[in-house]
Structure 1
Amino acid sequence: MPQIHHYWGMPDKHVLHGILQLHNEVFDNADELLEKAVKRQKILFVAATKENRLIGYKIGYELSADRYYSWYGAVQEDYRGQGIGSMLMDFQHRIVKEAGYKEIETKTRNMWRNMLILNIKHGFDITETFYDNEGIHRISLMKSLIDNKEVT
């Protein structure tokens, strides 16, 4: 069973290195992530580790006093399908709710179907679809942290 840790602000160098390494494997833009992360308000890193090795993460930041944004998340390929993403999401939502946020928002793409399905299973509703400035079709989702409607 993995251990879940959270960090308000930037995590220690060992954890950050693992996050950036995994992020680069999945999204190929770790430099951009780091550059943007240091500028985000009330950034939260949630990390899953097993045997002192990072196996997954979720990152989010404050949009307003009531709304939080779930930004990026990934799980090591050999640990996928084991519920790690759900554990990270549940943990992130609990911490954000305890911090007083009432809603959590995220965006994804059709190409990340497992993430889309996970979001819906955890109570997110699709609020809009749109094409971004690069012509990529995106899906916006929102979840109330007040009524906590989750499907198992």
Structure 2
Amino acid sequence: MVQYRHYWGMPEQQIFEGILALHHEVFMNADHLRAKLSIVPNALVLVASQKEEVVGYKIGYELTKDRYYSWYGAVSEEYRRRGIASELMKKQHQLIAEAGYTILETKTRNKWRNMLIANIKHGFDIVATFQDDEGIHRITMEKRLVHEDIQ
């Protein structure tokens, strides 16, 4: 049975090491995650675990007093298509709405189509597209948090 936990700030070391391992498996830049997570304001880390193994996570941080950024999220290959990413997303939206944020922002790439579709299903709108410093097309999405997000 998958269990969900959240941490405002850095999680305990064993959990964080599990997040880094999964992050490296999916994104290949765990050092970037480690460095930036320690300096972003009001970081929220959500973790899905099976027994003691991290099988999914979702991380975000404050951009302004009313705007929150949903930064990274991943689910281990063998645990995909079980609703874990959706559950992590719902919990993130609920917790940041309860904390008083009214706008949630995220960015994605066209190659992450499952994430793009999940964001749309969970109420995000595409608000812009741009080419980043590496020449990669990116999609900016926003969601206005409303009362039903905190139920």
The alignment's TM-score, normalised by the length of structure 2, stands at 0.96
Identity, % of aligned pairs? 58
Question: CA offset at residue 86 of structure 1?
Answer: 0.1
Asked whether 1:101 is paired with 2:132, we answer no
Question: CA offset at residue 50 of structure 1?
Answer: 1.0
State the match for 2:80 in structure 1.
80
Distance 1:148 1:128 in 2: 25
Give aligned pairs, total: 149
State the match for 2:25 in structure 1.
25
State the match for 1:3 in structure 2.
3
Distance 2:54 2:133 in 1: 33
Structure 2: gaps of 5 or more residues: none
Distance 1:99 1:93 in 2: 10
State the match for 2:121 in structure 1.
121
State the match for 2:57 in structure 1.
57
Distance 2:60 2:32 in 1: 15
State the match for 2:146 in structure 1.
146
1:14-53 deviation digits (Å, cap 9, x = unpaired): 1000000000000000011111111100001000011121
Q: What amino acid maps onto 2:81 in structure 1?
A: G
The alignment's TM-score, normalised by the length of structure 1, stands at 0.95
Question: CA offset at residue 63 of structure 1?
Answer: 0.3
Runs of 4+ in 1 over 6 A off after TM superposition: none
State the match for 2:40 in structure 1.
40
Structure 1: gaps of 5 or more residues: none
In 2 relative to 1, CA 109–148 (structure 1 residues): closer, same or farther, beyond 3 Å? farther
State the match for 2:69 in structure 1.
69
